Copies of this chain bind each other. A is one copy, B any other.
Amino acid sequence: MEEANNNNESPYISSVLPGWFSEISPLWPGEAHSLKVEKILFQGKSDYQNVMVFQSSTYGKVLVLDGVIQLTERDECAYQEMITHLPLCSIPNPKKVLVIGGGDGGVLREVSRHSSVEQIDICEIDKMVIDVAKQFFPNVAIGYEDPRVKLHVGDGVAFLKNVPEGTYDAVIVDSSDPIGPAQELFEKPFFETVARALRPGGVVCTQAESIWLHMDIIEHIVANCCQIFKGSVNYAWTTVPTYPSGVIGFMLCSTEGPAVDFKNPTNPIDADDSHTKTRGPLKFYNSEIHSASFCLPSFAKRVIESKGK
């Protein structure tokens, strides 16, 4: 792990606007979001991906994996709060939670707001992401400080296969895009493994791309999930300015068992403010935006409902 000396070393910086980071990818051809760079703080190559951290002019520090923005200090609240509280507020008294990916610790920070939770496992494949988060994003990596957290560095799919059937109340899959190390996490065998690890009526929430960019991927995920999850299957979305097209979606599913009504949170975290003493107030999530996030634009609704049930 070594720090970069100047801005010219990164392939992502030099190829575009001088002094700007531009996010160019075949997953969103023809468009690019750029952030002005004050200083590159870290560049490294792990066994899995290129890892970069830079100080931006107006979005705080930024974590980039393989050239794609994973989080900025300014807008990470939207993603971390939604991917966590959408599943955990949809079931009463979640006790055992597994996070796949999420090495930055932001999802852990949000899970730890739930006082009912007794065990928080996290399985992140890339140790460099964890180390970088702890060094540069203390307000995100603070999630690791909760004594209920148990960190497993390794492959999420292998980890899940070794978990006893019916272990978890909730699984949160905080993955990067389906190009690179996270590819498997969008495929049917992975969802089958998740379903097996959940208790009856347990829930999973996975990062599920953008309705504006990836309806083909979403259609595929919805079709798979409808086959595998015999409880509820719903798609939600929210705004994250620094993600491509400005939105990100979530696939929420429950296994056969006690019914889960994802659209109407039964376990409202915003009704109890004890967690705000140590974690600060929620910046983004509330019960109204929880329900609202399941309302889809007509173009997405038509596709998702035709695949769904």
Contact = CB atoms under 8 A, between A and B. Distances in A.
A262 to B, nearest CB: 14
Contact of A32 (B34, B289, B293): B34
Contact of A298 (B34, B245, B281, B293): B281
Contacts of A245: 239, 241, 246
Nearest to A238: B297
A30 interface: yes
A31 interface: yes
Contacts of A158: none
Contacts of A296: 288-289
Interface stretch (A55-63, A165-173, A196-204): A55-63
A223 interface: no
Contacts of A29: 36, 57-58
A159 to B, nearest CB: 33
A30 B22 contact: no
Contacts of A78: 297
A62 to B, nearest CB: 11
Interface residues of A, number: 46
A20 interface: yes
Nearest to A287: B295
Interface string A68-99: 00000001011000000000000000000000
A74 to B, nearest CB: 8
A245 B283 CA distance: 17
A268 B172 CA distance: 37
A292 interface: yes
A266 interface: no
Contacts of A33: 31-34
Contact of A247 (B31, B246, B295): B246
Interface string A10-39: 000000110010100000011111111000
A212 interface: yes
9 contacts: A20-B32, A29-B58, A34-B34, A240-B246, A283-B298, A286-B295, A288-B295, A289-B298, A292-B292
Interface of A: 16-17, 20, 22, 29-36, 56-59, 75, 77-78, 212, 237, 239-241, 243, 245-247, 270, 281-286, 288-289, 291-293, 295-299, 301
In order of increasing CB-CB distance, the 7 nearest A-B pairs are A246-B246, A30-B58, A30-B57, A292-B292, A292-B295, A241-B245, A288-B295
Given A237-B239, A240-B246, A270-B298, 15 more contacts: A20-B32, A22-B34, A29-B58, A31-B33, A33-B33, A75-B212, A212-B241, A241-B245, A241-B246, A283-B298, A283-B299, A284-B298, A285-B298, A286-B298, A291-B292
